[in-house]
Amino acid sequence: MSSKRGRLGGFKLSEVANILGVLGIIGSLIFVGVEMKQSHTIAMAAQIQDRYSMISNYHIALMTEGEVARDLIRRNIFTLDYDALNPDEQSVFIQIRNFYVNQYQSIFAQHELGLISQDVWEQTVSRLKGTYVQCEWRPAFNGVTENMKNFLDSLPSDCVTRLERYPSAN
H helices present in the chain, as ranges: 13-63, 67-74, 87-112, 118-132, 146-153, 162-165
Indicate whether 99 belongs to any domain.
Answer: yes
Q: What residues contact 97, with CB distance under 8 A and at least 6 apart?
A: 77, 137, 140
Residue 125 has pLDDT above 60, yes or no: yes
Cα dihedral across residues 54, 59, 62, 63: positive or negative: negative
Q: Tell me the pLDDT band of 1, cut-offs 50, 70 and 90.
A: very low
The amino acid that residue 109 corresponds to is A
Cβ atoms 124, 104 nearer than 8 A: yes
Q: Dump pLDDT digits (tens) for 13-22.
A: 788 888 888 8
pTM here? 0.65
Highest-confidence range of 32-46, 52-66, 84-98, by mean pLDDT? 84-98
Q: Dump pLDDT digits (tens) for 29-51.
A: 888 888 888 887 777 777 777 76
Indicate whether 37 belongs to any domain.
Answer: no
Lowest mean pLDDT among 62-66, 111-115, 121-125: 62-66
Q: Tell me the pLDDT band of 170, cut-offs 50, 70 and 90.
A: low
Name the residue among 92, 109, 98, 100 with its Cα closest to residue 47: 109
Residue 152 has pLDDT above 90, yes or no: yes
- Domain assignment of residue 59, given as a range: 46-169
Q: How far apart are CA 169 and CA 75, in angstroms?
A: 10
Computed on alpha carbons and rounded to an integer, the radius of gyration of the chain in Å comes to: 28
Indicate whether 89 belongs to any domain.
Answer: yes
Indicate whether 130 belongs to any domain.
Answer: yes
pLDDT score at 141 = 95
Indicate whether 93 belongs to any domain.
Answer: yes
In whole numbers, what is the pLDDT of the chain averaged over residues?
Answer: 82
Lowest mean pLDDT among 3-7, 61-65, 101-105: 3-7
Indicate whether 16 belongs to any domain.
Answer: no
Q: What residues contact 166, with CB distance under 8 A and at least 6 apart?
A: 76, 78, 79
Q: How many domains does the chain have?
A: 1
Q: How far apart are CA 138 and CA 101, in angstroms?
A: 10
